[in-house]
Amino acid sequence: MLVFGLKNCDTCRKALKSLPDAQLLDVRSDGIPAEVLSQALAEFGDSLVNTRSTTWRNLDDSERARPQLELLEAHPSLMKRPLIVDGETMYLGWTPDTRAALGVA
């Protein structure tokens, strides 16, 4: 199981603590593989981009207007976190639904 997020993100740390077999891939230093990003964008659409983040607020209007795939490739920290990849299944965020699907209390 892979967790795409940031090593200093509290939510990602909570997810990792609850998923001891998971491996964190820091999107700032490791990036996000193009095929994972494309699949996540197809599955989650607009909700993949965190429009409440500091990174988003610091972008100008022309940057925000770029296609989401380009935007996430250029600014991986814009991705909502964590993105959990378990085989062929993906989960976005550390929500009660995600925890229930993964069997975590």
Residue 12 annotated as catalytic? no
Give the closest residue to 76 by CA, choosing from 58, 62, 94, 55: 55
Q: In what order do the strands lie in the sheet with 23-26?
A: 23-26, 2-5, 83-86, 89-92
The Cα–Cα gap between 6 and 35 comes to: 19
Q: Is the peptide bond before 33 cis (omega within 30 degrees of 0)?
A: no
Catalytic residue among 3, 5, 6, 9: 9
Nearest-10 Cα torsion for 92, 97, 103, 105: 110
> What residues are annotated to the active site?
9
